[in-house]
Structure 1
Amino acid sequence: MRVIGLMSGTSLDGVDAAWVETDGHAIQGFGPTLTVPYDDALRRDLRLLLDIAPGLAPGDHRLLDAERRLTAVHAQAVKAVGQAAELIGFHGQTILHQPDRRRTWQIGDAAMLAAETGVDVAFDFRSADVAAGGQGAPLAPAYHAALALSLPKPVALLNIGGVANVTWIPEGGDGHGSLLAFDTGPGNGPLDDWIERHTGQRFDRDGALARSGMVDDAVLQRLLAHPYFTQTPPKSLDRLDFAASLAASGMDRLSVADGAATLVAFTVQAIARAPLPVASRRWLVCGGGRRNPAIMDGLRQALGVPVDAVDSLGWDGDALEAQCFAFLAARVVAGLPLSFPGTTGVPAPMAGGRVARA
Structure 2
Amino acid sequence: MDTHEPVLALGLMSGTSLDGIDAALLWTDGAGIAEPRGSLSIPYDDKLHAGLRAAVARAEFLPGVDALERAMTLAHATVVGALLRQEDLLPESVRVIGFHGQTLLHRPDAGVTWQIGDGALLAVASEIDVVSDFRAADIDAGGEGAPLAPVFHAVLAGELAKPVAVLNIGGVANVSWIGAQGRLLAFDTGPGNAMIDDWCLAHTGCPLDTDGALAAAGKVDDTALAALLDNPYFARKSPKSLDRNAFDAGFVAGLSPRDGAATLTAF
TM-score past 0.5 threshold: yes
Tell me the equivalent position of 1:246: 249
Deviations 1:118-172 (A, max 9, x none): 10001011112212332111111121111001112221111100000000112xx
Tell me the equivalent position of 2:4: none
Tell me the equivalent position of 1:234: 239
What's the CA shift for 1:255? 1.1
Tell me the equivalent position of 1:263: 264
Tell me the equivalent position of 1:115: 124
CA distance in structure 1 between the aligned counterparts of 2:181 and 2:54, rounded to whole angstroms: 41
CA distance in structure 2 between the aligned counterparts of 1:68 and 1:241, rounded to whole angstroms: 27
What's the CA shift for 1:46? 0.6
Does structure 2 retain, via aligned residues, the 8 Å contact 1:10–1:239?
yes
CA distance in structure 1 between the aligned counterparts of 2:147 and 2:230, rounded to whole angstroms: 23
CA distance in structure 1 between the aligned counterparts of 2:149 and 2:156, rounded to whole angstroms: 11
The answer to whether 1:201 aligns with 2:206 is yes
User: Structure 2 matches for 1:121-132, cutoff 5 A?
Assistant: 121-132=130-141
What's the CA shift for 1:234? 1.1
Tell me the equivalent position of 2:54: 48
Q: CA 1:86–1:132 in 2, change beyond 3 Å: closer, same or farther?
A: closer
3-state DSSP of counterpart to 2:58: helix
User: Structure 2 matches for 1:184-223, cutoff 5 A?
Assistant: 184-223=189-228
3-state DSSP of counterpart to 1:195: helix
**Displaced runs of 4 or more, over 4 A:** none
CA distance in structure 2 between the aligned counterparts of 1:127 and 1:68, rounded to whole angstroms: 19
CA distance in structure 2 between the aligned counterparts of 1:134 and 1:113, rounded to whole angstroms: 26
Tell me the equivalent position of 1:104: 113
Does structure 2 retain, via aligned residues, the 8 Å contact 1:158–1:167?
yes
Amino acid at match of 2:208: F
Tell me the equivalent position of 2:3: none
Deviations 1:192-237 (A, max 9, x none): 0000100001111111111111111110000000111111111000
Question: Identity percentage over the alignment?
Answer: 55
What's the CA shift for 1:50? 0.8
Query: What's the TM-score once normalised by structure 1's chain length?
Result: 0.69
Equivalent of 2:20 in 14, 30, 33? 14
Give the count of matched residue pairs.
Answer: 254
What's the CA shift for 1:254? 1.1
Tell me the equivalent position of 1:81: 83
3-state DSSP of counterpart to 1:253: coil
Structure 2: gaps of 5 or more residues: 1-6
CA distance in structure 2 between the aligned counterparts of 1:78 and 1:163, rounded to whole angstroms: 25
Structure 1: gaps of 5 or more residues: 267-358
Query: What's the TM-score once normalised by structure 2's chain length?
Result: 0.93
Tell me the equivalent position of 1:294: none
Structure with higher RCO (Cα < 8 A, 6+ apart) = 1
3-state DSSP of counterpart to 1:236: coil
CA distance in structure 2 between the aligned counterparts of 1:261 and 1:52, rounded to whole angstroms: 27
What's the CA shift for 1:265? 0.5
User: Structure 2 matches for 1:1-358, cutoff 5 A?
Assistant: 1-57=7-63, 60=64, 63-82=65-84, 83=89, 84-170=93-179, 173-175=180-182, 178-242=183-247, 245-247=248-250, 249=251, 251-266=252-267
CA distance in structure 2 between the aligned counterparts of 1:202 and 1:51, rounded to whole angstroms: 15
Across the aligned residues of Structure 1 and Structure 2, the Cα RMSD in angstroms comes to 1.0
CA distance in structure 1 between the aligned counterparts of 2:181 and 2:25, rounded to whole angstroms: 25
Deviations 1:169-203 (A, max 9, x none): 12xx241xx21000000000000000010000111
Amino acid at match of 2:243: D
What's the CA shift for 1:259? 0.8
CA distance in structure 2 between the aligned counterparts of 1:223 and 1:262, rounded to whole angstroms: 9
